[in-house]
Amino acid sequence: MTEASPLADELPFVDRAKAWIRDWPRRPRRPLTAQDFLPHTGSLFLPTYLSFFLLYGGSWVLFGPNQTFRLGGFLALLGGAGLTTLIVLYIRRPSTRRR
């Protein structure tokens, strides 16, 4: 007789997580407004500015005059690029239209 795998209990959760990640770009979101990018009220204010500063700071460290901490600059550029990708994927998602 074979015993059940210890991961067998986790498979439904893993399948749910895979389905959530796979369907995320197609799941509708609410329509964007200018309020979404304003400080203290918008949901995209912090990710947008964090992405900008990560990209700016990473390129400053990598290509600036001092070039002291290149690994940190590369990691900042990598994080900024990933965050920018997530923001673009969120904006490109279909929105729900209210009639």
Q: Looking at per-residue confidence, does 29 or 2 come out higher? A: 29
Instruction: Write the DSSP symbol of residue 8.
Output: T
- The pLDDT confidence band at residue 76, using thresholds 50, 70 and 90, is very high
Q: Structural domain boundaries of the chain?
A: 37-99
- The pLDDT confidence band at residue 98, using thresholds 50, 70 and 90, is low
Could you tell me how far CA 3 lies from the centroid of its own chain?
Answer: 39
Q: Which tens digits make up the pLDDT trace of 9-60?
A: 556 777 877 877 777 767 777 788 888 888 887 888 888 999 999 999 999 9
User: pTM score, two decimals?
Assistant: 0.67
Q: What angle do CA 79, 92, 97 make, to 5 degrees?
A: 140
